[in-house]
Amino acid sequence: MNLRSPGPTPCPEDVLQAMGRQMIHHRSPAFAEIVGRVTEGLKTIFETKNDLYCLSASGTGALEAMVVNFLSPGDRVFVVSIGVFGDRFATIAETYGADVTKLDFEWGTAADPSAVEQAVSEGGPFKAVLVTHNETSTGVTNDLEAIAAAARRAQPGVLMLVDAISSLGSIRCKVDEWELDVIATGSQKGWMVPPGLAMISISERGWQAYEESTMPSFYFDLGKAKTFLAKGQTPWTPAISIFFALDVALGRLLEEGVDGIIERHQRIADLTRNGVKSLGLELLAVEDRASNTVTAVRVPDGVEWKTLYQMLQDDYDTLIEGGQGPLAGKIFRIGHLGWVTGEDIEITMKALSQALPRVGHQLPEATPAS
Amino acid sequence: MNLRSPGPTPCPEDVLQAMGRQMIHHRSPAFAEIVGRVTEGLKTIFETKNDLYCLSASGTGALEAMVVNFLSPGDRVFVVSIGVFGDRFATIAETYGADVTKLDFEWGTAADPSAVEQAVSEGGPFKAVLVTHNETSTGVTNDLEAIAAAARRAQPGVLMLVDAISSLGSIRCKVDEWELDVIATGSQKGWMVPPGLAMISISERGWQAYEESTMPSFYFDLGKAKTFLAKGQTPWTPAISIFFALDVALGRLLEEGVDGIIERHQRIADLTRNGVKSLGLELLAVEDRASNTVTAVRVPDGVEWKTLYQMLQDDYDTLIEGGQGPLAGKIFRIGHLGWVTGEDIEITMKALSQALPRVGHQLPEATPAS
């Protein structure tokens, strides 16, 4: 199967082999060694010296961890949303009793830093700004550096809580330089590992907010994570196999280096966008903020998405993902993060070029026969 | 490594191979088929027709799910505790604002159902009774059937929330017959699967309590789990590999049958207890409630636990676990759940029989030389 979803992503053979390793005990020196190495490796790619923890949960669990560890009921928070995952972040904050002010931007566009600056300035002060780095539902990457700077111009020292689930490990994200206080990603994204772990880093300002927070937390209590990591452990029995896999994947990623990882994703994303356009299809995302991990494509007029989706799987062994929420049926999404090559994208484009005419989309004349 | 911890447990080769399967998409029919089969298989072993969900979390996550889905802040709840995990259940309930009345029994003993009946009767009414089926910290199995009946005699219809993390799939636990409203286990216990999934079932009475609950929940919101399972999905990206593994392990377990599984654990536990006693060691647990998944053994006088622990690993390739909390250094624990054979126990006993004299414990004369 040519799995071209924006997560889970295919995993390299050595990573899968690591998944099949026999169990070791999670409070043994052997596990402590792995946790230590994995944590340090992640910090390198996060470009941070902050504390960092792996939680046995999906990325959504990490978003919940951000809310319950650093906020209190009634806290005024500012959420920047450009799609499903920005909205989810706001919903989690509301669920736990935060007072949410949400600034929405049209889906397919990125957040405008100056609009963020103005809104925070006029509506503040806020306890925190919550923002999605890469919006997987629309294939748009926010200018996180500019947004964080804008928020800080409006309110110096405001806490930044960042969903970087589908960007960290794929798209440039300088956690320390951009002063991103709390930021999280998930193992099944650019990390080339199966789902089951979320990785989260916390700045000193984040720990100050932790001390002030009155929201209840237990499973996701990062103070407990801190206490146990000092012993090379996690508070609860962790997803050990995924640590094994992440250890191997990080070996690959660290060898490639952060710049290499970022450039590879840029190159593959360009291939994808050019391929899609050559098929006469339109991107949902504004060109200058199109994501390097997922490309959202408008379903062409007259084409039934579900038919195309099924045909791609049945006849071309290729899975791409549909739209979420109000975008269901209107877009499809091609994942190109993690363990992906130019050849994978060529296969995907070939599949699309053959399937699309069968479901009613005429290819442009310039498209080479394939 | 002869891993004799009460979780994680070693996994069979075919289960480990399943862990190494390439990713599929979690919103695809292929995954829906697995989720459906796994859910039905689990219900068979839970001996329940109730709704059942797999959460991507450790067992502690499932305990938190029980608290936040079925209780409200200020709810009076009754916790039966016989060890670390009973105390943890109480702490989670307190963390989220429940008003906890805890009845403690001496560690190493089981809860007395008549004492539970009296305390619930005198102290009630309570919104729920929280109880641990098998206390992993002390190697004691509560008489859950009698405790549930006692609680219901004291307060008909009281909600039963049960931590069966280290019993379900190993020790008899008739969820429907004993009317256990909400009950959970973890993949790394008797299920022979790596850690990362918790499995939880909910009765109709449980769903009524869910409707009344005002505690916030998002990641662990079981209403969302219900909505998504109807589509063969989970709300968030699940630990897909562990579903693969659980699917294979359940194939083995269902073939063996519930009675077979229970008898096997009984037999191996008897072997363990007899072996320990033949080495001149004492069990922590009262004899008639000693656990069939974990045996807690008093560290003999004059023996330094840490020395024994390290020696067993270094010289005998065997890992057993120490005591937790106030039992640290005073007991050790031998896990015998999941994929374990009589031979594994013999190897463990041989290791102990060789290591113990080296750390100052004289074996009884009757012990055969090994």
What is the rounded distance in angstroms from the CA atom of residue A276 to the CA atom of residue B174? 56
Convert A41-105 into a string of H (helix), E (strand) and C (coil).
HHHHHHCCCCEEEEECCCHHHHHHHHHHHHCCCCCEEEEEECCHHHHHHHHHHHHCCCEEEEEEC
Rounded mean pLDDT, B33-43: 98
In a domain, A237, yes or no: yes
Select from A230, A255, A280 the last residue of a domain: A255
CATH no. for residue B321? 3.90.1150.10
Question: Hey, are the CB atoms on B237 and A64 less than 8 Å from each other?
Answer: no
pLDDT tens-digit profile of B225-270? 999 999 999 999 999 999 999 999 999 999 999 999 999 999 999 9
| pLDDT band (50, 70, 90) for residue B366 | low
Select from A231, A255, A279 the last residue of a domain: A255
In a domain, A192, yes or no: yes
Site from B72, B214, B236 to mutate, A interface, most A CB atoms within 10 angstroms: B236
> What pLDDT is stored for residue A366 in this prediction?
65
Max Cα–Cα distance, chain B, nearest Å: 63
Task: Supply the ipTM of this predicted assembly.
Answer: 0.97
Site from A23, A26, A72 to mutate, B interface, most B CB atoms within 10 angstroms: A23
Residue B367 has pLDDT above 80, yes or no: no
Q: By residue range, what is the domain housing residue A292?
A: 258-358
In whole angstroms, how far apart are CA A319 and each of A284, A309, A328, A355, B59?
Answer: 19, 7, 16, 12, 33
Question: Hey, are the CB atoms on A95 and B25 less than 8 Å from each other?
Answer: no
Residues A133 and A214 in one domain: yes
DSSP string, B238-251: --HHHHHHHHHHHH
**How high is the mean pLDDT of chain B?**
97
Question: Hey, are the CB atoms on B239 and A242 less than 8 Å from each other?
Answer: yes
> What pLDDT is stored for residue B326 in this prediction?
95
Helix (H) or strand (E) holding B82: none
Write out chain A's pLDDT in tens, 370 residues. 999 999 999 999 999 999 999 999 999 999 999 999 999 999 999 999 999 999 999 999 999 999 999 999 999 999 999 999 999 999 999 999 999 999 999 999 999 999 999 999 999 999 999 999 999 999 999 999 999 999 999 999 999 999 999 999 999 999 999 999 999 999 999 999 999 999 999 999 999 999 999 999 999 999 999 999 999 999 999 999 999 999 999 999 999 999 999 999 999 999 999 999 999 999 999 999 999 999 999 999 999 999 999 999 999 999 999 999 999 999 999 999 999 999 999 999 999 999 999 999 999 986 555 4
8 A C-beta contact, residue B153 and residue B309: no
What count of CB pairs under 8 Å joins A to B?
168
Please give the angle made by the CA atoms of A145, A146 and A152, to the nearest 5 degrees.
95
Nearest CA in chain A to B18: A20
Q: Which amino acid is at A126?
A: F
8 A C-beta contact, residue B134 and residue B167: yes
> What pLDDT is stored for residue B368 in this prediction?
54
> What pLDDT is stored for residue B197 in this prediction?
98
In a domain, B308, yes or no: yes
Residues A322 and A213 in one domain: no
Which of chain A's residues have a Cβ under 8 Å away from the Cβ of B188? 23, 237, 240
Residues B79 and B103 in one domain: yes
Residues A290 and A222 in one domain: no
Rounded mean pLDDT, B156-180: 98
In a domain, A369, yes or no: no
> What pLDDT is stored for residue B365 in this prediction?
82
Beta-carbon contacts of B272 under 8 Å, excluding residues fewer than 6 positions away, are B295, B334, B336, B345, B348
Residues A286 and A309 in one domain: yes
| pLDDT band (50, 70, 90) for residue B331 | very high
User: Cα B311 to the chain's mean position, in Å?
Assistant: 28
In a domain, A137, yes or no: yes
- pTM for the full model? 0.97
Which of chain B's residues have a Cβ under 8 Å away from the Cβ of A95? 216-218
Nearest CA in chain A to B193: A23
Question: Hey, are the CB atoms on B58 and A237 less than 8 Å from each other?
Answer: yes
Residues A127 and A225 in one domain: yes
Question: Hey, are the CB atoms on A3 and B19 less than 8 Å from each other?
Answer: no
What is the rounded distance in angstroms from the CA atom of residue A57 to the CA atom of residue B196? 8
Residues A301 and A162 in one domain: no
Nearest to B184 by CA among B154, B232, B157, B220: B220
What is the rounded distance in angstroms from the CA atom of residue A194 to the CA atom of residue A197? 8
Which of chain A's residues have a Cβ under 8 Å away from the Cβ of B7? 237
Nearest CA in chain A to B9: A23
Which of chain B's residues have a Cβ under 8 Å away from the Cβ of A22? 1, 3, 10-11, 16
Per-residue burial over B357-367, b if 16 or more Cβ lie within 10 Å, else e, is eebebebeeee
CATH no. for residue B61? 3.40.640.10
Residues A242 and A296 in one domain: no
What is the rounded distance in angstroms from the CA atom of residue A323 to the CA atom of residue A336? 16
Helix (H) or strand (E) holding A247: helix A240-256
Nearest CA in chain A to B90: A218
Rounded mean pLDDT, B134-144: 98
> What pLDDT is stored for residue A192 in this prediction?
98
Helix (H) or strand (E) holding B88: helix B84-95
Rounded mean pLDDT, B61-68: 98
> What pLDDT is stored for residue A166 in this prediction?
98
Nearest CA in chain B to A193: B23
Nearest to A23 by CA among B199, B254, B250, B187: B187
B368: closest CA of chain A, how far (Å) = 31
What is the rounded distance in angstroms from the CA atom of residue B185 to the CA atom of residue B9? 14
Question: Hey, are the CB atoms on A23 and B194 less than 8 Å from each other?
Answer: yes
B19: closest CA of chain A, how far (Å) = 5
Partner residue opposite B8 with nearest CB, options A26, A92, A219: A26
Which of chain A's residues have a Cβ under 8 Å away from the Cβ of B16? 20-22
Residues A196 and A124 in one domain: yes
Partner residue opposite B60 with nearest CB, options A219, A241, A313: A219
Select from B196, B231, B255 the last residue of a domain: B255
In a domain, A3, yes or no: no
> What pLDDT is stored for residue A368 in this prediction?
54
In a domain, B231, yes or no: yes
Question: Hey, are the CB atoms on B236 and A1 less than 8 Å from each other?
Answer: no
Residue B99 has pLDDT above 80, yes or no: yes
Q: Which residue's entry shows tokens 């113990």?
A: B356
Rounded mean pLDDT, B34-62: 98
Which of chain B's residues have a Cβ under 8 Å away from the Cβ of A91? 218
Site from B3, B23, B88, B344 to mutate, A interface, most A CB atoms within 10 angstroms: B23
Phi, psi at A318, each rounded to 5°: -125, 130
Counted domains in chain A: 2
In a domain, A119, yes or no: yes
Of A366 and B221, which is predicted with more confidence? B221
For residue A338, what is the DSSP state? Answer: S
8 A C-beta contact, residue A59 and residue A186: yes
8 A C-beta contact, residue B195 and residue A27: no
> What pLDDT is stored for residue A365 in this prediction?
82
Residues B94 and B241 in one domain: yes
Residues A71 and A157 in one domain: yes
Residues B133 and B24 in one domain: yes
The share of chain B scoring above pLDDT 70, in percent, equals 99
